[in-house]
Amino acid sequence: MSLVKRTIIDGYNVIRTNPSGSRIEELRGGDAARQWLFDLCCRAIMSGEQWTVVFDGAGTSSSHDVGSAAIIVRFAAPQTADEMIRDMAFHSASLGVNCLIVSSDNEVRLDGCAFQDSSNFYDYLLRHAGRESVQPVDTAGRSVEKLLAYLTECGNIERGIFIAAATRDALKELLTYFAAENCKPQKIARAVESMLRDGVKLIPSPDREKIIFRNIKTFFEKNI
């Protein structure tokens, strides 16, 4: 990405194509989800780059200097985000500016511009955002591993089962967010259980007595 001069990001597409962003939007709303993505971008952008994050709907556009880089937030109304992204990309290509479009929507592909899937871009954000926030990421990572070990001891996760790195990373982001928001264990447990069910086979299933939820809640009551 260091050779790209301009990156145009389909904001809601990135938020909604990964577990962390979609969960934050579900629990805290669009404002919190947009701020979460903006914070990740601020920590991951490289010197000399310009990133424009485009969102559907109405709002106040803004420009932010991040060292020698810049992040621009645009709201597309009365256009759609796809229409604005295509217009911006066409303008960049016509000027000969190197341009990368970030989206999982093939409708915004344009000849003359590079294209990156939102899930791959999110992986890029996670890898590079930790450069300026090593301690919070490490703390969340340790909490995730302790939680998984605790649930294994409780019999809610089968011993030796493979848990994908994407699930662990999503849990790290979620716990980092909840730590910043100072949320109560019950709310954290509800969101964590839902995310775990998306990526891990939990025991028992079905869980009519909410054993898994209670164990997760107990873990966070003891570890916050």
1 within some domain: no
How much is the pLDDT for 12? Answer: 97
- Please, are residues 68 and 47 in contact by the beta-carbon 8 Å criterion? yes
Residue carrying the six token digits 């011993």: 159
> What confidence tens digit (pLDDT) does each residue in 15-70 have?
999 888 888 888 888 988 999 999 899 989 988 899 999 999 998 899 988 888 99
- 123, 138: one domain: no
Which phi and psi (to 5°) does residue 70 adopt? Answer: -145, 140
195 within some domain: yes
Q: Which of 130, 158, 174 is the last residue of a domain?
A: 130
Say whether pLDDT at 188 is over 60: yes
24 within some domain: yes
101 DSSP assignment: E
- 26, 92: one domain: yes
Distance, in Å, from the CA atom of 212 to the CA atom of 202, rounded to the nearest integer, reads: 8
93 within some domain: yes
112 within some domain: yes
- 53, 71: one domain: yes
How much is the pLDDT for 192? Answer: 94
How much is the pLDDT for 47? Answer: 87
Say whether pLDDT at 224 is over 80: no
How much is the pLDDT for 169? Answer: 83
> What confidence tens digit (pLDDT) does each residue in 94-130 have?
888 889 999 999 889 998 899 999 999 998 998 887 6
Q: How far is CA 134 from CA 9, 40, 126, in A?
A: 25, 13, 11
DSSP letter string over 137-193? Answer: HHHHHHHHHHHHHHHHHTTSB-TT----HHHHHHHHHHHHHHHHHT--HHHHHHHHH
CATH number of the domain at 90, please: 3.40.50
How much is the pLDDT for 137? Answer: 39
- 75, 98: one domain: yes
Residue carrying the six token digits 């295509």: 86
Distance, in Å, from the CA atom of 150 to the CA atom of 31, rounded to the nearest integer, reads: 33
How much is the pLDDT for 101? Answer: 96
Closest CA to 53 of 70, 68, 67: 70
How much is the pLDDT for 148? Answer: 92
How much is the pLDDT for 132? Answer: 42
How much is the pLDDT for 134? Answer: 32
Closest CA to 19 of 144, 173, 186: 173
Distance, in Å, from the CA atom of 205 to the CA atom of 156, rounded to the nearest integer, reads: 9
Q: How far is CA 49 from CA 8, 84, 100, 149, in A?
A: 11, 20, 11, 41
Q: Which of 130, 146, 179 is the last residue of a domain?
A: 130
Task: Report which of residues 177 and 89 the model is more confident about.
Answer: 89
> What confidence tens digit (pLDDT) does each residue in 131-186 have?
443 333 357 888 898 999 999 999 999 988 888 878 888 888 888 888 878 889 99
Q: Which of 110, 130, 150 is the last residue of a domain?
A: 130
Q: Is the pTM of this model over 0.85?
A: no
How much is the pLDDT for 136? Answer: 39
Distance, in Å, from the CA atom of 151 to the CA atom of 149, rounded to the nearest integer, reads: 6
How much is the pLDDT for 1? Answer: 43
**Structural domain for 105, as ranges:** 6-130
Residues 6+ apart with CB under 8 A from 168: 141, 144, 148
- 37, 72: one domain: yes
